[in-house]
Structure 1
Amino acid sequence: MKTLILVALISVGSLASANQQTPTTSALEFSREEAERAPEGLVPFIALGGGYTGYENVSSVEGTPATLKLLGSYYFPASHFVMDLGYGVNNQQFTQSRDTTLDTSRTGGALELAARYRWDSKWQAGIVANQFYEQGKALSADQGDAHFVGLQVLREFNMTPSWLARLGVRAMSLTNNTDGLVPMYLVDLQIGWNPGAYRTSVRQTAANENPVQREPQNVTNVDEESATSEEMANEEVSTPPSRPVAEVQPQSALRDVALSSVLGSGSEIQFNTAKASVSTEDQEKLSKVAKALADNRDLFEKVEIHGYADASGSPAINQRISQQRADSVRNIMRQNGLRSSDVIAKGMGSEDSTGVQASDRRAELVFTGVKDEAKLREVLSQIE
């Protein structure tokens, strides 16, 4: 009887100790992060404007206009063109209305259409057209609505990775005027939200097993049968824990990986003789590569852009043109999600010649400090 009671006490203590062990678990953590990217597709903007309306012959039109509009700005993919379409209100305060019977102000709807070219430096320039409803008579137009057409220049910049601002000026002229020139000059401030500047990242976490250590039990004055029973109980309790749901795979050693080794020899960016501009086809390819890399920054440390030139020029000229080519590629990568600190541009001159001048006019991408080469290859190989 004494032996049975001792075995029962040992079994209960062993099971309680086993239940205190922390099993290995895994979980997927989802997070939504902002990433600075070049806008693409439809981007909404709130546009504010204010300035001056002048005159040539009709002094009553002189005044200070103020506009508020909601714009839909479309950034054409793999292109430098931007188009705006929007609607809002325009208010014109007339400076010549004091002590007269003229209207002191006029407010009405305002329709806007604009088309601009966007440079890599984020400057934009193009034409802009406005139609001010029910304000034509006050602005010396030959009908109820006033039509203005002119030029617009804007500079775009990021306030945050997802919030954009455009600041610039415009100069327009009334096209359906009745008597003389009616110019309008405005300062533009436009604030927009880039929906493509967000990415969803998934991270797998695992908790290491930390079993609670059991202190040895000191049992004295037991016979051989009770000792044998205790050993059997310990063998049952020492069963290995269940297999973890997921295991964290060790990362490979840091190393450099060239884009050409992943996508093949045709992945280099080619240039025309003495030119540093990137073709539309290569711009589209770089845009896809940059977006894929921006979503997987944890796989590498930096991207080096190596620009090259053929041997037809002097060393100084070759160095300059190769640096310009590397800079052109870097700008495109930065516009499509990579941070400035992620990309380095290096002009290599006419080094590493392939023996074919057309092939020497190129730029190559090299990923430095690669942490998981297999995963990086998988990500880049999915680019069409």
Structure 2
Amino acid sequence: MGLIFSQRVGRWCFVTFALGIAGFIWQAHAQGDNARASDSQPKYGVNKPLGDTYAEVRSVADEQTRIVFYRASARDAAGVISVYLNGRYHASLQKDAFTVVCFIGKKTDVRTRYLPNHSADIRPELDTHFAIAMSGGESVYLRITEIAGNTSRIDPVTAQVALKDLTDAQQQMHTLSRVPNAQTCREAEETRFAFDPNIITFGSDAIFEHRKTEIHAISTQGRQELKQIVEKINVKYKTFKAVKVHVVGFADDEADDTLNRRISEERAKSVRAFFKAQGLRSTTLTHEGRGAEEKQKAKLFGLSPRRVEVEVAVELR
């Protein structure tokens, strides 16, 4: 009897242990599934429809026109105003919301429809129509408001007016644009970088011997100065996202302009290669030769005609 009881107890302990292990595994899988489901959920939706607040950009790519639509703030604003571009749905703006889109072309048609609440009947016709004459490299600001009779209107406004209205506006995020030729806005390339006004000119020891172009045609002390310039650039601009360094070479004032140009080009090229070998921190490292140009500047400021100058540009963003 005691033996049978012990065997039954042993079986129940085993069953209990097995069930516990199974439960632990199921719970782990459930937690993993929940985590994956959470990760796959969109960041924005009906419960969180708005994103970041509005931030003005410095410029727009030359070939693009940037259009900013926003719904003006109103105390009793309700519902949404849907925006259609070239006959295709783009977004539905809530109170204090905006949306930005860029196009390439000369004209874009904008239409809107006001929907006061989710249960209202959707009219087949749209409320208003506005044609945008687009010009590349510019921003267009359109303020959209609801008016009496459950309709909406579109008003073009200046950048100054729009920026004031958009102070507390947030980006409309939970709607999905159906406009096929809409583009992500890009910044104009030339305005992303600003040149440091302090052009670095080598000292009197860091100039090339007459008609020479190789790096060893600069004295040992001169090459040390070049290393110090590398260190200075690496330290001064280390926090910038991107740095452009441009090396400009000049030449002796020979009678042959072609020879001057070649000498200056080779000098700039030699310094560029030296900078690269010394680990200069730069996104872009370019060079050019200007021959015997700027002779008057050299005389006026006591500069050598065999000098090399370094221009540094840093990304503004």
TM-score category, normalised to shorter length:
0.3 to 0.5
Higher strand share: 1
Q: What's the TM-score, normalizing by structure 1?
A: 0.27
Q: What's the TM-score, normalizing by structure 2?
A: 0.32
Higher helix share: 2
